[in-house]
Amino acid sequence: DAKTTQPNSMESNEEEPVHLPCNHSTISGTDYIHWYRQLPSQGPEYVIHGLTSNVNNRMASLAIAEDRKSSTLILHRATLRDAAVYYCILKETSYDKVIFGPGTSLSVIP
């Protein structure tokens, strides 16, 4: 499985933008980049995914480097409810499963 590398933890001030980085230098051409997050005492929830182009949805934006070796999840205005562990995952097109790494623990400071 292609691996991802994320910082263990990050801090952000409330109402500020947050950029969560992810390195995936061994990504293959058929790997999708998925992001999930896990709020305290809850199951993970899907945030966003992309292949080559930048993506936006109601939760976040995903910026993918041109060489696809890295990506950044962008929360445009962090709220206290965004404090969670964020997982960056590579999912092969032909595989059904995803493998979770340790993720980045995001703290939001009021």
Partner 1 sequence: DAGVIQSPRHEVTEMGQEVTLRCKPISGHDYLFWYRQTMMRGLELLIYFNNNVPIDDSGMPEDRFSAKMPNASFSTLKIQPSEPRDSAVYFCASSAPDRAPYNEQFFGPGTRLTVL
- Residue 21 or 101: the one with the smaller Cβ distance to partner 1 is 101
Q: What is the DSSP string of 32-74?
A: EEEEEEE-TTS--EEEEEESSS-EE-SS-EEEE-TTSSEEEEE
Separation CA 32–CA 17 (nearest Å)? 24
Least separation in angstroms between CB 89 and partner 1: 10
**Amino acid found at 39:** L
- Residue 17 or 95: the one with the smaller Cβ distance to partner 1 is 95
Site for partner 1, rule CB under 8 A: 32, 34, 36, 38, 42-46, 49, 87, 91, 93-94, 96-103
Separation CA 86–CA 8 (nearest Å)? 10
Least separation in angstroms between CB 90 and partner 1: 13
- Residue 36 or 106: the one with the smaller Cβ distance to partner 1 is 36
